[in-house]
Structure 1
């Protein structure tokens, strides 16, 4: 069964990576850098749209574009047609992912883009916590130490000026927590359902939930520019996921996964150029600490074996889960 390590490097809700097929680290790194930059562009487009469009409407386009592309692919026979086995857990995973995505979009409308991205990408930290609590997975002591140190970085992002907690930062942090809960569900679902099924449920539930919000939250008719940006945000996110999937085909996750955090750095740079948006010094320090910790969690061997013969050994969790095509943050 694919282990926790395969899912902890996802800044977006449905990162399921295929097994490497060839040994080409240079190509893998270039593809992952391209994915990080494209995710950053998607976030910038979303932030533009949140100025005139409510987060629910943005979320609809953010997941809906990828969902409808996959529906077309399924209708053409390019993807398997399956409804799934554990329907309740698939639905729960979709709901958790939808809440995570909506929280992220809400946060970028009120927070510096780079900080929102950094807090959204704390999901690996919380996956470790939830896996230990709900899945009874055991980790080496240094993983727990890294998690504790990561919370120091998170505290600097949430309260960079030591003058009070930023509520918008808490919402961004919530996006990472809900994403981590969604990834924990995936750990269980991988026993009975394919990656394709899990992804389709995530995008379908997220799109329907966002569309249903129109019954309670007034939607606005976007102008031509905003509509183009909304479509672009969904399309670039879908393309970024394809690039990331391709990267994992050419090298293990331990080599390429850290480069996805280029999305945070690119969003900070682009936001500074466009909006003169620059986090404070301590917030940037917090971002650096948090990203470093999530990278260490992913690349260090950390799961302990449970048998008596190798009780004191440390095993590296698998970086090659069952292959599956994936779709489009969060």
Structure 2
């Protein structure tokens, strides 16, 4: 139960961070990655202090998985907030939340789980859902939608790496290296495009960053208590949260096609994960 609550808290903070970030972007020429820069900046400071106070070693046990978590989470976060410049809060979160599907697909490659070929059906179902959300005319596909999709694929690798890293390394160690990696990458990329926020924009930028840090801390702690596939499915609750927030704050256009696409994505996720649960229970029964 504790793991579920941590995941739900994380997804609420992620959704709220994207909403606050969208308020900054629509009223200025501040680039999306400037918002994630401050998330990683504050996160690095908080992570360093927490690690020092806990008296833990700065040396990770599973270096490979801690590094994978840091790199792919950075890619996912950058793509996510860049997407907010071009598409709606609802679309960004819905497409970003396709990552539970890719968790199941990439699990055999990263954590050596057996691949079930029946999952191909659910992947096709999900891609149909993505098609309905993106609504491409094959002459011009929305750049924001594509970035959000890339964010989801990258997030799946980050989640699998987190699950493996969490077996040997603490929340403090994982979050610290995640934030420092993201900060270094942003320093290299952001410098030429920096825009100075106004006083009110500074408030929103800081709030979005702090919500993002809270989400990262919560999701990292969650995977101490919950497996990757189950946690990923519960994370889909952000689609509903973000959809409600998008309508409330930005009057996002919730069409029948968008609802159908979201429903197919959720159905595919549920089908994949429930199928995996049945296989795990069957194996456990055979071992008894």
Normalising by the smaller structure, the TM-score range is 0.7 to 0.9
Verify the 8 A CA contact 1:301 1:315 in the aligned structure 2: no
Structure-2-length-normalised TM-score: 0.80
Instruction: Indicate whether 1:289 and 2:287 are aligned.
Output: no
Partner of 2:13: 38
What does residue 18 of structure 1 align with? none
User: Is the 1:63–1:203 contact (alpha carbons within 8 Å) kept by the matching residues of 2?
Assistant: yes
Task: Give the corresponding residue for 1:70.
Answer: 47
CA contact (8 A) 1:104 1:175 kept: yes
Query: Which of 183, 208, 216 is the aligned partner of 2:159?
Result: 183
| Residues 263-301 of structure 1, C-alpha deviations (whole Å, 9 max, x = no match) | 222222222222222243212211122123224433443
The match for 1:225 is: 200
Change (3 A) 1:91 1:34: closer
The question of 1:268 aligning with 2:243 is answered: yes
Cα distance, 1:109–1:164 mapped onto 2, change above 3 Å: closer
More helix by share: 2
Decide whether aligned partners of structure 1 residues 139 and 174 sit closer, same or farther in structure 2, where only a CA change above 3 A counts: same
Does the aligned pair in 2 maintain the 1:138–1:304 contact within 8 Å? no
Tell me, yes or no, if the aligned pair for 2:38 and 2:206 is still in contact at 8 Å: yes
> 1:95 and 1:243 mapped to 2: Cα distance?
19
> Secondary structure at the residue paired with 1:81?
coil
Residue in 2 that maps onto 1:58: 35
> 42-51 or 175-184, which moves further after superposition?
175-184
Say which of 177, 201, 204 aligns to 2:177. Answer: 201
CA 1:87–1:249 in 2, change beyond 3 Å: closer, same or farther?
closer
Q: Report the count of equivalent residues.
A: 283
Measure, in 2, the Cα distance between the counterparts of 1:236 and 1:214: 21
Q: Distance in 1 between matches of 2:159 and 2:14?
A: 19
C-alpha distance in structure 2 between counterparts of 1:242 and 1:120, whole Å: 19
Question: What is aligned with 2:56?
Answer: 80
